[in-house]
Structures are given as structure tokens and as C-alpha cells.
Amino acid sequence: MCGILAIIGKGKEEQLVRELSKRMAHRGPDENDLYMTEKGHFLSHERLSIVDLHSGKQPIQGTATAYMVHNGEVYNHEELRNGLLKEHTFRTKSDSEVIVHLYEEFGYDFCDKIDGDFAFVVIDGDDYMAARDPLGVKPLYYGLDERGRIYFSSEMKAIADQCKTFSTFPPGHYYTAKTGFVKYYKPEYEYYAKADQDLDLELIRNTLTEATSKRLMADVPIGVLLSGGLDSSLTSSIASRLLKAKGQKLHSFSIGLDANAPDVVAAKKVADFLGAEHHEVYFSVEEGVAILDQLIWQIETYDVTSVRASVPMYFLSKKITDTGVKVVLSGEGADEIFGGYLYFRNAPNAEEFQKETIERVQKLFTADLLRADKSTMSHGLEARVPFLDKEFLNVAVRIKPHEKQPKNYEGKEKYILRKAFDTPNDPYLPDEVLWRQKEQFSDGVGYNWIDQLIDYCATQVSDAQLEGAVTEFPYNSPTTKEAYLYRSIFQKHYPQLSAAQTVRKWIPKWQENLDPSGRANDAHLKPGFQMAKLD
């Protein structure tokens, strides 16, 4: 994981480019470098060293005149080196280097050959291309300045005040001056009627295990974000088994307001069950409120649920990096794939259920993936997401939707995922965790967090201010005092209309209360309620 910046076009001062790149220094605290091409274009890189700690410095030159910067991980880089690229001479052992060689070998048409999470820019003379991974696990922005120069960067803070317009780079696309945007990721599951696969619990279990195994690739210590919910607990359990086979021990991390927070209690049960080296982190509402300004600058959004969940993740990430761990596995994506949010219970039919899961997967880059990346990378920590592995998606999203609907299992969300790992003879998790109801991260750290955060925001925004929100913020106007406060902070740091337009509000469907908290849904159970598994 890193921060990348590219400027296509002549006339920028090198010192200014370095300063712009340094705005993302938190993404790459280990080393940095900048290269100006013979044509006057710039590539800059802030590096977090994960693979090839000693020779993987970027930008990386290809065999001839092409140079590249990359943020992310290429999990099949060894396979590419030994197969499609076996005739190429490599300068480093970095997984990133395969990208520039793929460009030399195939031109623009190679992104679908990469198994990984990425945002990259290649410059070759005056030719260039930029691309983003299929789901947008890694962030990327692009913009245009008054003189027609084109910018690409991992975070918009590096380019917002340089560009007259800018936007989020669409996931699953590449861009060149010759082709414009080209959609290279075209999975069958994007058409809802292709959800025609029979349920295969063993296939779910095997493909998720393989997805997790890939994401243990690193030359640095790896840990897991463990909330005690189903998704993070499953990835933790799988990782624990894989690491034990290598003689290694799992390091797990959880956070809450105190030791009685729902997630902290559940996470400790999981860690004890797995024999993990467990770390608990606590924060107070007062501490959370105090970092709102810094946090919103970091995560570059005013979306309410993203801010709520980013605060604990921000504190947790700082503690994790203090231990020396630089990579963590996280559970993002499972709720979107399997319809795990409580509002999915109210889907009117299987077709609408499937359409909503697909849209949620496609829009993850605007919310959970943005939050997971930027709140962790604020402290130079890389988060990897096994549930969004391409092969796992191909299996899980295409399962017939009636197999996923909670109403077919007495209201139990993600039933088939739970059942796939319900192996009594060799259990992955304790039953009380495997069958625990969905608890959104911002709720699970302690219900007082959101309740008191809302109360605090109410003291900072007057009724008159909220009434004038439509005039003050005509685009995506806030409708609550909490949303107004976040929008005001965002506006201070990112006053451009282009910045506001990068944010998409997360709103649940099929329920009256539109607050994004899971507790807003009538199906939310009281603390301590235990779901029973079905036979």
C-alpha cells in the first residue's frame, strides 16, 4: 500500500509536486521518490514497504522507456513472472513490477490478468495509462487543471486545489488519452439474472479460504481486525489455521468504548477460541469527537455512516502500527454479497434482493472500502479484504438469490455463509459467534458512541443552520445536525464542488427509519440475544 501521484503535462515545478505528494505521506511512511520523465511528466510515490522491502522502491522502470507507480498488491505476481512474463528481465522482487512489464507485453489490455488490488499509472514517453482494481479496494482520483494537465492520485487532498475539476476514478476501468475510460471488468454476476448457480457450501468454504491465503502474502507481520462479528471472525479463523500450518501465531485487534462493548466481548471469545495473541483498544466519546476535524480531512467524505465507523478504526489502526504490524485482514464485502444488513429482510422478492446485493457490491468503493482504506492508511496500515476476491465473488454473487434471503431461514442473515463454516467436527468458531446477529461496526464498539455523537453534533449546529442547509449546501444537502456538522468540516478542507460530488450517501432501503445504523431497523435484537442455528 502506498500513495501515488502522477501529473501528465509540462510546466509543474518539481518542488511543488513533491509537496503535493507529501500530503499523502501517511500512506507511505517508509520511503518516497519522484521521477520526471524526459517529456516533463511526473510520477511520485510514497511507499509502505510490504513485499520486497529492500529493492522495491518506486517509480519502477520497465525494460525500456516505460515507468510505473502502483498502490496495492498483485497476488499472482510470481505466476506472472514465471509464465506470461518469463522472457522479461526484472529489476526488483516487488510484486508491483509485473505491471510495467504487462504493459510492455500487452499494451493497454492486461488489467484482467492481474489478481490483486491496485491503482497504478504507467508513463511511456507521451503515452500513459491509469487503472483501478475491479471493486475499487484501492482509491484513485483523476483531475484536470486550467492548462489541460491531467492528474492521478491516491487521495484527492493531493490534487483538489490544483484542478478545476476532479472526480473518483471508476473501479474496474483503465484510462488512456487514446481510448478514454474502458471498462475491463465485466463479470457475469453484474446481470442479476445470471444468479443461477446452485448452493455449494464446500465451494464457498474453499474459495474463501483460498482468497484469505493469497492475502497473507507479505514480508512484514500480518494481523486481523477482529470485531467479533461473523465476517471478521471467519477471516480470522481461516487465517489462524493457515498461519498455524506455517508455525506462526495470529495477532488479532479489537476496539470498543470499554470491555463490555458488544464487539469487544465477542472478539475476545473468538481470540480465545483461536488461541490468538489478542489486543484490545479502548477510546472515549470525547476522544472520538476531538478528532472529527482531522478524521474527515483524512477520509475525504462526509457520509454519516463512514464517519461514525472511521473514528474507532482510526484509533485502532494507530495502536496496530505501534505494535509493528503493517498489514491486517478485514471483513468488508460479506454483507453486500450475502445481503447481511438487516434491511435486506424486507426485500420484496428475490429479484429485488439480488439487484440490491449487486448494487451494494458495485458501490462499496464509495463507503466501506473508502473508510477501510483511508482510516487505516492514515497510520500507514494496509487493510486486505478476502471477501472481495474475484474468484470468491464469481462463486458467491451468482448463487440463486432465494438461497441467500433471510426470510427463508427464519430471518437469519448470511445463513449460507454461516452454514458453510458450521463444521462441528472441526469448528471454525464458537456457535455463539458463528450465529451472532449482524452488528454494524459503529454500533458494536458501544451503543453510546453513536448516541452521544448525535447529541454532541446537536450542540454544535443550530436549528437555523440546519434550516438553511439547502442554501448553504445545494448539492447533497444534509438533513440532520450530525450530517450538517460533518459536511461543514468537509467543506472547510475541500471547498470544491468536485469534492462534494465524490461522496455518495449510504441509505438503507425497505425501512422507514433511514438512519444508517443497524439499530434503526426493527429487526435489530437487544444485546445478549442469541440466534439459534437451524438444522
Catalytically active residues, by annotation:
2
Kindly tell me the number of DSSP H helices and DSSP E strands found in the chain: 21, 17
Is the distance from CB of 38 to CB of 76 less than 8 angstroms? no
Radius of gyration, alpha carbons of the chain: 23
CA atoms of 254 and 215, how far apart (whole Å): 20
* CB within 8 Å of 213: residues ≥ 6 apart: 238, 242
CA atoms of 473 and 413, how far apart (whole Å): 37
Q: 476's torsion region: left (phi>0), alpha (psi -120 to 50) or beta?
A: left
Can the peptide bond before residue 527 be classed as cis, meaning omega within 30 degrees of 0? no
The cell numbers describing 30, all together, are 517508509
Q: In this structure, what DSSP letter does residue 175 have?
A: E
From the CB of residue 432, how many other CB atoms can be counted at a distance below 10 Å? 12
Element (H or E) spanning 384, and its range?
strand 382-384
**Dihedral of the CA atoms 168, 171, 172, 178 (nearest 10)?**
10
CA atoms of 118 and 4, how far apart (whole Å): 11
Q: 107's torsion region: left (phi>0), alpha (psi -120 to 50) or beta?
A: left
CA atoms of 102 and 213, how far apart (whole Å): 24
The cell numbers describing 446, all together, are 458501544
* CB within 8 Å of 265: residues ≥ 6 apart: 228, 259
Please name which of 132, 154, 133 lies closest in space to residue 143, comparing C-alpha atoms. Answer: 154
Q: What is the largest CA-CA distance in the chain?
A: 68
